[in-house]
Amino acid sequence: MCVIIDTNAFASVFGKSVDSIEFKPLLDWLEDGDGCMVYGGSTYKKELNNASSYYKYIAELKKGNRAREIDGSIVDNEENQVLLKVTSKSFDDSHLVAIAIVSGCSFICSKDSSANKYLKNKKIYPSKFRVPRIYRGLSNINLLQKNNIQKNCTYCRIQNNKKRKKAKKK
């Protein structure tokens, strides 16, 4: 099961902020539990470049098969479609919606509460897509339970199936 981590939450998730205690359960879930971070696309990469001190954390997650990068061109194309649906200049998280749609992930960690009205807008997503749940701290710890997280993250399911098949062959 996967999560999309907005770059505005990196300091909190990766232990470099005063509110890191609020996000420690999410980090533990990523490192030792059922979690997997998904990311991708040009906009996310630009934001990641501005937060380059967190590369090492993502690299460690990738090494442990706990972070997966989605094909950027697919995310970029989907982001363009999202931007056609939402034209508000205050909406700057279209890339998160695009990552969710492409991956099938419906779990986002973000500290931007002003993005809620967009991230939770059913009209932006394909029909039957589960609107993302948002982790903002300890009050959302219940979201880290298996039954509360989308089981159909296409990207993680495909990757995990490939990993399992390789393990069986060995």
Percentage of residues of the chain with pLDDT beyond 90: 58
pLDDT at 157: 55
Residue 145: which pLDDT band, with cuts at 50, 70 and 90? confident
Rounded to the nearest 5°, which phi and psi values hold at 159? -65, -45
Residue 150: which pLDDT band, with cuts at 50, 70 and 90? low
pLDDT at residue 153 tops 80: no
Round to whole Å and give the CA distance between 133 and 151: 13
Neighbours of 163 (CB within 10 A): 11
Percentage of residues of the chain with pLDDT beyond 70: 85
pLDDT at residue 107 tops 80: yes
> What's the Cα-to-Cα distance from 128 to each of 10, 104, 121, 131, 164, rounded to whole Å?
30, 11, 13, 9, 28
* Adjacent-strand bridge partners of 5: 109
- Ranges of H-type helices in the chain: 10-13, 20-32, 42-50, 55-63, 72-85, 94-103, 116-119, 154-169
pLDDT at 162: 47
Tell me, what amino acid is at 119? Answer: L
Round to whole Å and give the CA distance between 83 and 126: 14
